[in-house]
Structure formats: structure tokens, C-alpha cells
A and B are shown apart, each in its own frame.
Chain A
Amino acid sequence: MALIVCHSPKGGTGNTFLAAHMALGLAEAGADVTVLSMAAHDTLPFHFALPPSTTLSALHASSEDSVVVSGIDLRHARTAPKDPDFIPMLKDLGYFQTGRDRTLILDVPSCERNLARRLVNHACAHLCALDTAPETLALLPQMFDEAGKGGLSRTSFVINRLDDTRRLARHNAAFVRELMGPRLIGRIRLDESVPESIAMLQTLARYAPSSAALADVRRLVDIVLPALDTDISIWSGAKSSSYAA
């Protein structure tokens, strides 16, 4: 079992996209994946080609009520930020152990920093999606301060929606690359196919199999997968395939 926390210091960086496609990739690789959305108004179902009318079941709901797509169990835990038993419950379920046989991916909204920090302390990995907006970079010092060295040791960064034809985006991405070093495990290129696939109510893999973003996120899955079986941080074992290398 493994717990992966997807949380970004700023909203709108593609955190849910990353969580959803990490789930799809890990499930393709044979993992038994559950994705838990903690957003009050979650957009997670859209990345699984589900219509807006879809309502996810709570974590405690029976399996008959669950929404399962491509073998991935999609749930919500909107009350988790205020539920003192949430983290102990995850421990009781065994998600604080390593192993890819059962993987829980938590899509934590950017505003839930306190919850994210406590979850990261127990997680196998923390994936932090960043975009190249200066506002996002400006939040990094605060994020580092709050995470501390223990939290940062489990954190791997991903630049999302990278448009390197734009000067500022290119410069900011280079800055992040230099700052993060091996902790930056990859980048996902800006790809119009992503919103188009949502609008088409299709998965990205079906709508645009040649999608650049899809290829990038699949590379990330290849980096994350081996780390699920170990106590080693993703980024420390990803040197050869790191975008930063």
C-alpha cells in the first residue's frame, strides 16, 4: 500500500489533473488505485471522462455506490480537513506502508495546507504541481517554511502547463529547475488536448493519444512507480530520468 499526496501551494496549477493521470498510469501498471478528492467542488471526475452530473461517493460508502473508472475507485472525503480521525483511519487501513499493490492518491486542494502538511508526514510521496506563473513561484518560500525539512524530503515537484515558447515561462521554469535540482522530477507541457478531452467527455488517452501532456505524465508515472515499493523519496531515485538532469 502506498499513499501519494497531490497538493500544490497554489490553486489552478493542475493538481487534480496530475492526481487523475497518476492514478490512470499506476492503474495501467497494475496497481489497485483509489483516488480521494478532498475538494468541496471537485473536478476529478472530468479527467475520467465522467459527465458533470457525476457525484462521487464518500470514502465510507459501500463498493456498490462507488464510481469506478478503468479499475480506479473514485471517492470524496470533503470532511477530511475537519475530521480528527481521518489520518488515523488511513493508518488503520494500511496506507502508511510502502507497496504498489494498493495505492491511495489524495487530491488535496491548495487551501488545505494544514491537512496536506500532516498527510505528507505519513505519505510515501508528495507530488507538488507548479505552473510557471510568477505568483506560484512567489509562494514557494512560504511552502518551504511550512513544510520543513521533513516534509520537503518527501516532496517531488512537477512543472505543469509548461509553454516554453513563452519567455517568462521559460525563464521561470529554468529557475525552478535550478532551485529544485533532482526534486523536479518532470514537466508536463501545455496541451490544448487536455481541456478539449474534458469538453469531449473523453479520457485524454482516447481523445488525443499523441498528446504531449499525456506522454509527459506517463514519463512521470514511470518515475513514481518504483518509489512506491521503497522508503526512498521519488526524487532521489529518479536521477537518470529527471527533467532537471
Chain B
Amino acid sequence: MRVDASNLLNRLGRQDFSYKEFEDRFTELELWPMLEALLKDPRLLELDGAAASGAAAPAPESLPSAQTQAAEFVPTPPRPAAPPAPEPVATDSISALFRRYEGPNAAAAPAPPAPAGSGQDVRAMLRHLSELGSRGEI
């Protein structure tokens, strides 16, 4: 602990600090272009299909023999870069993300109707959800 922090604790008569959380609601966040690009990446959908339990998960790959294992170390050509995300996939990804935000009760319900054009406009969808949140509707 830094000396100044230690001195402050001594002056306050405390053993440690209590930390303030600075968390924002997701709908109050601005969507940085990097995050927006990530939301449109279909590879993030892998997460939705990953099972929770070991039993439900795909069986681990069988242990290879030393010979085949050695072959795995042969460099393989990198996978081709993912193609640009088609809009419907991006929309599904975003929908899944926001369904989580809406809580378990909404999970089984159909996705709420989005404002016109918002399927292709993440910012518009965020604004819409933010408005719904401020009105206490979600």
C-alpha cells in the first residue's frame, strides 16, 4: 500500500477503503465503433451454442498417439478471415445480446419490435432501448 494511502487510512481511522462502483447501465453506454464492429462479428455467436455442463458439451478429443500429436504441430495455414457479417446475422447477435439484458422473463418472449431501420442501426437500437429503460418499460 502506498504511503499516502496508508496515511489517509490512519487519519480516517480505518483499516481499508470502501470502493465505489462506477458501473453504468448497458443502455446508457455509448457504443464505441470497436464494440459495434464486434457485435456484427458472427464468430461471437459461438458463445450462444456452448453448453454449460461437461456432459452436454462435446466430448473432449481423444488423446492422440505421440505420432499424430506431433503432426498437430505442423503449422497449418491460417483460416481465411471471416467474411463480412451479413446484416441478418449481426441483427441476431445483437438481439441475443439484448435479450440477455432484458432478463429471464423476456428470454422466452419474442424479441421486441425494433424501431424502423434499427436492425441495421445499432445506435438507434441502443437509443430506443435506453428510452424504454428510462421510462421503466424494460
Give chain B interface residues in 13-49, CB to chain A under 8 Å: 15-17, 19, 21-26, 29-30, 32, 34-35, 38, 41, 43-44, 46-47, 49
Q: Is the CB of B1 within 8 A of A196?
A: yes
Q: Is the CB of A149 within 8 A of B50?
A: yes
Would you call the interface of chain A mostly helix, strand, loop, or mixed? helix
When the two chains form the complex, which single residue of A144, A211, A235 contacts B43, counting CB atoms closer than 8 Å?
Answer: A144
B57 at the interface (CB under 8 A from A): yes
Chain A residues lying within 8 Å of B67, measured Cβ to Cβ, are 84
Q: Is the CB of B38 within 8 A of A138?
A: yes
Q: Which residue of B lies closest to A152 (CB)?
A: B50
A150 at the interface (CB under 8 A from B): yes
Q: Which residue of B lies closest to A82 (CB)?
A: B73
Chain A residues lying within 8 Å of B47, measured Cβ to Cβ, are 144, 152, 179-180, 183
When the two chains form the complex, which single residue of A147, A174, A192 contacts B23, counting CB atoms closer than 8 Å?
Answer: A174
Q: Is the CB of A87 within 8 A of B69?
A: yes
Q: Is the CB of A138 within 8 A of B16?
A: no
Q: Which residue of A lies closest to B18 (CB)?
A: A212
How many residues of chain A get a CB closer than 8 Å to chain B's CBs?
58
Q: Is the CB of B60 within 8 A of A121?
A: yes
**C-alpha spacing A122/B43, complex, angstroms:** 23
Chain B residues lying within 8 Å of A142, measured Cβ to Cβ, are 43
In the assembled complex, the CB of B104 is this many whole angstroms from the nearest CB of chain A, namely: 11
A189 at the interface (CB under 8 A from B): yes
B108 at the interface (CB under 8 A from A): no
Q: Is the CB of B19 within 8 A of A233?
A: no
B137 at the interface (CB under 8 A from A): no
Chain B residues lying within 8 Å of A61, measured Cβ to Cβ, are none
Q: Which residue of B lies closest to A177 (CB)?
A: B26
Given contacts A175-B29, A210-B15, contact A164 B23 (CB under 8 A): yes
- 1/0 per residue A157-186: CB within 8 Å of B? 000000011001011111101111101000
Q: Is the CB of A141 within 8 A of B50?
A: no
Chain A residues lying within 8 Å of B100, measured Cβ to Cβ, are 178, 181
**C-alpha spacing A212/B50, complex, angstroms:** 32
Q: Is the CB of A145 within 8 A of B32?
A: no
Q: Is the CB of B23 within 8 A of A231?
A: no
B51 at the interface (CB under 8 A from A): yes
Give chain B interface residues in 33-83, CB to chain A under 8 Å: 34-35, 38, 41, 43-44, 46-47, 49-61, 63-64, 66-67, 69-70, 72-73, 79, 82
B106 at the interface (CB under 8 A from A): no
Q: A84-B66, A148-B58, A164-B22 are in contact. List 18 more A-B contacts (CB 8 A).
A: A84-B67, A85-B66, A144-B44, A144-B47, A152-B50, A154-B54, A154-B57, A170-B22, A170-B29, A171-B24, A172-B32, A173-B23, A196-B1, A210-B1, A231-B53, A232-B53, A233-B53, A233-B54
Jot down 5 A-B pairs with beta carbons below 8 A, ordered by A. A145-B82, A149-B51, A171-B29, A208-B1, A233-B54
Binding site for B on A (CB under 8 A): 81-82, 84-85, 87-88, 91, 114, 118, 121-122, 134, 137-138, 140-142, 144-145, 147-155, 164-165, 168, 170-175, 177-181, 183, 189, 192-193, 196, 207-208, 210-212, 230-233, 235-236
